[in-house]
């Protein structure tokens, strides 16, 4: 059972930083690969970053590579997304997701989803 809740979204100026958190209230967080996706108004939901069960392996979309960092703390049942050097193009609802395997970047690779948290970057 996975129940994901995102937090940390808000309004930030271009060039600023935010850190998103996603807490799993389930019992087996450490067994899941985790990912972050985002969806801007009028656009498809897109992959942002993912992290393996161990936290050793990570993967990033080209648009955020070098600016965003995904990490996890299995003792706290939490995955994080640190966003630096933010751009207006980063404005979106950000979703946390969990999957059984570190399979790929598709939404289909993640079976459980949080409700999303709004991130707005002003110019």
Among 24, 37, 3, smallest CA distance to 116 is for: 37
Encode pLDDT of 27-80 as tens digits. 788 899 999 999 999 999 999 999 999 999 999 999 999 999 999 999 999 999
Give me 92's structure tokens.
């979106």
Among residues of the chain, what percentage have pLDDT more than 70? Answer: 100
- 60-76: b (≥16 Cβ within 10 Å) or e: bbeebeeebbbebeeee
């Amino acid at each position: 059972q996975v129940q994901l809740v995102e937090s940390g979204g808000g309004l930030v100026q271009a060039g600023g930083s935010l850190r998103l958190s996603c807490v799993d209230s389930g019992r087996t967080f450490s067994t899941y690969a985790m990912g972050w996706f985002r969806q801007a108004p009028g656009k498809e939901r897109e992959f942002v970053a993912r992290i393996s069960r161990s936290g050793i392996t990570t993967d990033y979309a080209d648009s955020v590579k070098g600016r965003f960092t995904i990490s996890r703390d299995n003792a706290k049942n939490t995955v994080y997304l640190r966003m630096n050097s933010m751009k207006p193009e980063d404005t979106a609802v950000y979703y946390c997701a969990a999957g059984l395997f570190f399979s790929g970047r598709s939404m289909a690779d993640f079976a459980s989803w949080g409700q999303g948290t709004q991130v707005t970057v002003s110019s």
